[in-house]
Structure formats: C-alpha cells, structure tokens
Amino acid sequence: MHVRRTGLEGVILLTPRKFEDERGYFAETYNRRLCSEAGIAADFVQDNHSCSIRAGTIRGLHFQRPPHAQAKLVRVLRGSIFDVAVDLRIGSPTFGVWVAERLSASGGEQLFVPRGFAHGFYTLEAGTEVAYKVDGFYSSECDSGIVWNDLTLDIPWPSKSGVTLSDKDRELPTFDKRQSPFLFEGSDV
C-alpha cells in the first residue's frame, strides 16, 4: 500500500496495490497492521455506502461532535469524487484549513479523515458510489456540519452552480457561526 501524507496532520492518502491478470485485478483495500504503521489507529465499527445519481452532487461538510466523533476511511467503488477534509481542531496550526484529493474507483485511492475534521465530497460522475469505514457509531444528536460553499473556507469545488444538495446540507451553518467542539492535542487553548 502506498501512503502519502497530505498538508493536514493526520489526513492520509492510501493507495492499495493492484495485482492484475487476465481475470481483472485483486487489491487489499484494508489491512489494520499496515494502517497502524501509517499512523491510523482507528478501530472501525461501521461501514457506510452512498450512491449519488447525478454528477455535481455534494455531500457535506459533515462531522460528528464528541462524544460520538468519527474518523473515516473513504473510498470510491464506482465513479470519482473531489474529496475534502477541513481541520476543525481549535489550537491546530492548520485550524480552518482544508485539503482536497481526487478519489476514483479506477485509481483505488482512499482518504483517511481523522476525528476533528469536517468531511465532504463532490461527485465528478453520475452514479458515483462511495464507501467509508467509521470508528464510531452514528448519533443523530451529535450529527453536525458546515455549509459546503462557506466563504471563509473558500473551497474550490469543481463547480458551484447546478449542484445537487440535500435540504439538510443546504441549511448547515457557516464556519464562523459553528463553534468547534474539537481541541488540537497539545494545544494550550
């Protein structure tokens, strides 16, 4: 598995090796030992799967507040996405900074998004399916987020017009209106 650190501490891009022959390919998409060696200590407890019918569908920017915060390991099963993680850890040198990666079914890339980050994605193709492991169970009381087109974050989504959103995502607050429940480890805040 190829491991690449992103510009945000803890957010890691993993690309499994593919073994191809006349039948197709085989890839090991998760290995606890290899992930641990890469700095991922999450104990995944739930797998989620979404299908977005239209290209230009945005899901996010979501996170779960403590005590039910979640880390995610995101991968694309069909299609491709523009995947975003935003640092919400107060006291972090990268607080409010985002990173984006293109993930595709053909490339097999996976993005690890630790606790303390908002996560969202934009589908680049119709019929895109995304699967992600989480290390905490969903809690509707702790479900939260930031509006996708927040001006402070200024994320360069592939398009900002004609996007498909849920009513819930359309109504999320802006970054400056959301008090972060996360603290950066080692912060004196």
Which residue, 175, 107, 122, is CA-closest to 144? 175
Cα–Cα nearest to 11, from 98, 77, 133, 134: 98
Considering the candidates 30, 49, 119, 132, report the single residue annotated as catalytic: 132
Whether 138 is a known active-site residue: answer no
Confirm whether 25 is a catalytic residue. no
Among the listed residues 30, 62, 68, 122, the single catalytic one is: 62
**HSE of 8 in the Cβ direction (CA atoms, 13 Å)?**
28
- ∠ CA 55-153-87 to the nearest 5 degrees? 95
Active-site residues, by number, are: 62, 132
